[in-house]
């Protein structure tokens, strides 16, 4: 078997390593030299050397694109198909918008080239040891690529979802579910940190990773990250590529309620400090209708903490920006005063 890979970064490069170990000949194109892949037996060509790439692969060629979503896919596809023949297969393994994938499939099918929108999950570790593929496209094209994808996927991790666009649509929904799960786990961390008990987070997440209802790779990753020495230095700013925004927009257009996924996207926005005036406006209005104070107020703090007689309300967690230590309201005041 032979596989062409365009883009030999963290995903494409790890797929190339896995493929060569499974006796799949890999020819790749990349902007970098990638000596570590050459040592593994991967033939690495310069970016854009698509004629040479095509010459080194037997027909029907199977080529996997591991490139960022957007216009770059269209640009590279335009150049690539000039050197391909009828019956060849191009797979887009990135997080492309599924409607873009449908458009691209129509375009290359005019030349008899199969285009498979190949949603790929598992991150770099999955690409290295066994990925999860959600594939949309014509059945005949999938059958050509299937033996290679079967070798590169984890057991049960290969699915031909349906017609063009369906693979990237399912992957996008997958990413939305991922966002919701991440937010839920993060809120669990917040609750544990703000609670009345001094629990060891790493021990808790290790416990949850063994037999609990919520055991999962994400819970295991949280456990492992907490154990890292630099965990406390992780910044609060969260960056993302924005594809789940497309899912939320499509849901609104179709009036499909997805409150958890929508809120998880909003929480990412909040981490970036994009709202410079909203909380100022709320404070001003609260002062207007109830003469509520501006900024911190010890009397209001005391009422918030002691207002419920049985005192079981959740401790609100604040952060000392310099020390990054939990500062609970009850730690800021003497309840005996």
Q: Which residues are catalytic?
A: 171, 178
Token pair of 321 as six digits: 């920006």
C-alpha dihedral over 270, 271, 272, 278, to 10 degrees? 30
Compute the distance between CA of residue 265 and CA of residue 258 in angstroms, rounded to an integer. 11
Compute the distance between CA of residue 279 and CA of residue 255 in angstroms, rounded to an integer. 29
Identify the sign of the CA torsion 251, 257, 260, 265: positive
Token pair of 274 as six digits: 């994009």
The single residue listed with the structure tokens 């790493």 is 202
Residue 319, SS3? Answer: strand
- Decide if 92 contacts 101 (C-beta within 8 A): yes
Compute the distance between CA of residue 143 and CA of residue 325 in angstroms, rounded to an integer. 55
Q: Which residues on adjacent β-strands are paired with residue 120?
A: 133
- Decide if 214 contacts 208 (C-beta within 8 A): yes
- Decide if 139 contacts 160 (C-beta within 8 A): yes
The single residue listed with the structure tokens 């929480």 is 267
Token pair of 12 as six digits: 């494409």
Compute the distance between CA of residue 206 and CA of residue 241 in angstroms, rounded to an integer. 30
Distant-in-sequence, close-in-space partners of 176: CB < 8 Å, separation ≥ 6: 244, 247, 248, 258, 261
């Amino acid at each position: 078997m032979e596989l062409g890979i365009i883009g030999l970064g963290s995903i494409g490069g790890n797929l190339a390593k896995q493929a060569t170990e499974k006796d799949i000949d890999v020819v790749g194109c990349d902007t970098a030299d990638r000596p570590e892949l050459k040592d593994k037996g991967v033939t690495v060509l310069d970016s854009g050397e698509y004629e040479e790439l095509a010459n080194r692969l037997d027909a029907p060629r199977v080529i996997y694109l591991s490139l960022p979503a957007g216009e770059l896919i269209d640009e590279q596809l335009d150049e690539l198909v000039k050197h391909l023949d009828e019956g060849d297969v191009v797979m887009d393994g990135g997080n492309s918008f599924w409607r873009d994938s449908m458009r691209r499939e129509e375009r290359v099918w005019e030349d008899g080239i199969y285009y498979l929108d190949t949603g790929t999950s598992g991150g770099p570790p999955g690409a290295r040891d066994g990925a999860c593929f959600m594939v949309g496209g014509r059945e005949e094209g999938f059958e050509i690529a299937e033996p290679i994808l079967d070798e590169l996927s984890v057991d049960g991790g290969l699915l031909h979802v349906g017609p063009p666009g369906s693979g990237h649509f399912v992957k996008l929904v997958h990413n939305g579910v991922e966002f919701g799960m991440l937010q839920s786990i993060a809120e669990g961390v917040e609750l544990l940190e703000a609670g009345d008990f001094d629990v060891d987070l790493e021990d808790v997440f290790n416990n949850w990773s063994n037999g609990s209802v919520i055991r999962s790779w994400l819970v295991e990753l949280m456990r492992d990250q907490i154990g890292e020495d630099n965990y406390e230095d992780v910044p609060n700013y969260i960056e993302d590529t924005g594809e789940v925004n497309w899912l939320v927009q499509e849901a609104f257009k179709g009036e499909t309620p997805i409150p958890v996924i929508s809120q998880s996207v909003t929480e990412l926005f909040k981490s970036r400090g994009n709202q410079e005036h909203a909380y100022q406006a709320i404070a001003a209005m609260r002062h207007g209708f109830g003469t509520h104070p501006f900024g911190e107020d010890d009397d209001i703090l005391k009422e918030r903490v002691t207002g419920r007689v049985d005192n079981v309300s959740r401790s609100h967690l604040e952060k000392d920006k310099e020390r990054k230590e939990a500062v609970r309201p009850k730690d800021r005041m003497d309840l005996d005063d």
